[in-house]
Amino acid sequence: MKKILGGLAVAGMMSLALVGCSASGGDSGGDGLITVGFAQTGSESGWRSANTESMKAAFSEENGFKLVFNAADNKPEAQIAAVRSFINQGVDAIVIAPIVVDGWDDVLKEAKDAGIPVILEDRTTSASPDLYATWVGLDFQKEGQTAGEWVAENFGDTPTNLVVLEGTTGSSAALDRATGFNKAIEGTSINVLDSQTGNFTRADGKTVMEGFLQKYGKDINVLFAHNDDMGLGALDAIKAAGLVPGQDIKIVTIDAVHDGMQALADGEFNYIVECNPILGEQVAEIVKKVLAGETVEKSYIVPDGAFTQEDAIKLLPTRPY
């Protein structure tokens, strides 16, 4: 154990030295490449696949990186274990898309003590900001608010029953989207009948929607799903119940991945708020800056749009994901 710790301390000092001196960033492997450990959430959605692809393309050998990739199957303990293993391997930098906001303090302190900078991608944490270098992501609260404003504008004046499919419990994406949405519908005649997690997956979106339909049947007027995939899963449940999605039940989702945009173009979804998953290049650039000792902002927010059915028909052929 002592030996391992000794090795760790040396690796830490080496990375620290590299952070301080090397203009081209770390090179712990001695192969001219920057070794980056990326702790991805898992592979729950179309958004996630596009994000993983974007990260893998940006952290390529041609771009000067050696990527150590881990997907944690959306299990927070597994993700923390992956980060710990990156620290033990003595990578040059660690990128994390945190599954949940809480529970990060200890392992982030360990990375800091080892001199390995941490860059957050996509979601945020509740950990103290001095435990990570920066965060590249999206304004989830604003996304929720945009969805809520659309609901309020279209249905806020007449009694309307709404159900919510929430994303992963405890994730910043789900927490902030709920906050933004609830603020936007406050004081309107929208009645939230029920709100449950569908874990950002199609399968759970379908199961939870089946439950909602059994319980509330035709009383449901609007569905807000925290991502496209859960909305897509819900389509099956709605059709199986003999109802027409997009008409009997209006649907608003977040992400705007290809299958979601297709459902919007087909009239089965009614509105989608965009969440851009193509973050790889920006994250890679920032990792290089951090390792070169350059000052970076504490956060980089990538802007999002929002789409109607007409927009989807026009944009579908040229969507990059």
Which spans of this chain sit near ligand GYE (rule: CB under 6 A)? Answer: 44-45, 47-48, 122-123, 138, 173, 200, 227, 229, 254-255, 275
Residue whose CB is less far from ligand GYE, 221 or 227:
227
Phi, psi of 200 (to 5 degrees): 65, 15
Residues 6+ apart with CB under 8 A from 246: 266, 267, 268, 269, 270
Question: In the complex, what is the shortest distance from the CB of residue 41 to ligand GYE, in angstroms, rounded to a whole number?
Answer: 7
Residue whose CB is less far from ligand GYE, 34 or 225:
225
Q: Mapping DSSP to helix (H, G, I), strand (E, B) and coil, where does residue 53 land?
A: helix
Which amino acid is located at 33 in the chain? L
Residue whose CB is less far from ligand GYE, 27 or 229:
229
Residue 169 falls in which region: left (phi positive, over 0), alpha (psi -120 to 50) or beta: beta
Cα separation, 221 vs 231, in Å, equals 14
Residue whose CB is less far from ligand GYE, 79 or 160:
79
Residue whose CB is less far from ligand GYE, 91 or 174:
174
Question: In the complex, what is the shortest distance from the CB of residue 228 to ligand GYE, in angstroms, rounded to a whole number?
Answer: 7
Question: In the complex, what is the shortest distance from the CB of residue 138 to ligand GYE, in angstroms, rounded to a whole number?
Answer: 6
> What is the per-residue burial (b if ≥16 Cβ within 10 Å, else e) of 131-143?
bbbbbbbbbbbbb
Residue whose CB is less far from ligand GYE, 48 or 250:
48
Question: In the complex, what is the shortest distance from the CB of residue 142 to ligand GYE, in angstroms, rounded to a whole number?
Answer: 12
Residue whose CB is less far from ligand GYE, 216 or 300:
300
Question: In the complex, what is the shortest distance from the CB of residue 238 to ligand GYE, in angstroms, rounded to a whole number?
Answer: 20
Neighbour order of strands in the sheet with 65-71: 65-71, 34-40, 93-96, 118-122, 134-137, 299-301
Q: Mapping DSSP to helix (H, G, I), strand (E, B) and coil, where does residue 161 land?
A: strand
CB 240 within 8 A of CB 217: no
Question: In the complex, what is the shortest distance from the CB of residue 177 to ligand GYE, in angstroms, rounded to a whole number?
Answer: 8
Residue whose CB is less far from ligand GYE, 43 or 88:
43
Question: In the complex, what is the shortest distance from the CB of residue 100 to ligand GYE, in angstroms, rounded to a whole number?
Answer: 11
Cα separation, 3 vs 21, in Å, equals 27
The DSSP H or E segment spanning 54 is helix 46-58
308 C-beta neighbours (distance < 10 Å), count:
13
Residue whose CB is less far from ligand GYE, 92 or 228:
228
What is the residue whose two structure tokens read 């710990």? Answer: 84
CB 184 within 8 A of CB 144: yes
Alpha helices by DSSP H, the chain: 2-21, 46-58, 76-89, 105-113, 140-155, 172-185, 202-216, 228-240, 258-265, 280-291, 309-315
Question: In the complex, what is the shortest distance from the CB of residue 46 to ligand GYE, in angstroms, rounded to a whole number?
Answer: 7
Question: In the complex, what is the shortest distance from the CB of residue 294 to ligand GYE, in angstroms, rounded to a whole number?
Answer: 27
Which amino acid is located at 272 in the chain? I
63 C-beta neighbours (distance < 10 Å), count:
16
